Amino acid sequence: MNVNFPIHSVECSLHSSSTGRVEFVEQVGVFFEAEGFSRTAGRIFGRLLLSEASLSLDQLAADLGVSKASVSTETRMLERRGVLERTGHAGDRRVYYRVAPGLPVPTLELRLERMRRFSRLISEARREVRRGSPLVRQRLDLMAEAHRYVVEALGAAL
């Protein structure tokens, strides 16, 4: 009943230079890769960043040149982390994704979470090292303090 690409998918970004768009998408891809995610996840994110309209799985797959299976997996991963959001459109059974409205928050939240995890590690080690060398104790204290400071500063920013 639907035409293949309904109005919702009108392209609204960078239409003057599609090459600039794919370049950006690819850059975000390698960035995500360096952060421990898959390149595809980064590409999806980058692509959606530049799109006003929400995009369906097929559109993303076609656009990025990957299988629908990958897109399905990665979008749900990003959704779980609060980076993406599902949408629907009346008279359309497909699932659409867009970047979450309050985007900066989950992005920074993600970083914060990592720092917290490391912070926790340090604190545990500090507890166990009570009988150890003073230098090591001091070192861990210093790190814990620095991290506490930064985590608080970041938390306040959100």
Contact residues toward its own copies (CB under 8 A) are: 12-17, 20-21, 24, 27-28, 31, 33-36, 49-52, 99, 103-104, 107-108, 111, 114-115, 117-118, 121, 124-125, 128-129, 131-133, 135-136, 139-140, 142-143, 146-147, 149-150, 153-154, 157
| Region near DNA per CB under 7 A, out of 88-96, 100-108, 110-118, 125-133 | 88-96
Spatial separation of the C-alpha atoms in residues 148 and 134, rounded to whole Å: 21
Binds 1: which of DNA, its own copies, none (CB < 5-8 Å by kind): DNA
All residues at 6 or more sequence positions from 100 whose CB lies less than 8 Å from its CB, including other chains: 82, 83, 84, 85, 106
Binds 135: which of its own copies, DNA, none (CB < 5-8 Å by kind): its own copies
Helices marked H in 13-103 — which ranges? 18-34, 39-49, 57-64, 68-80
Spatial separation of the C-alpha atoms in residues 143 and 51, rounded to whole Å: 41
Q: Which of 75, 78, 99, 140 binds DNA (CB under 7 A)?
A: 75
| Token digits of residue 76 | 């749900």
- Classify residue 55 by its DSSP letter: E
Binds 128: which of DNA, its own copies, none (CB < 5-8 Å by kind): its own copies
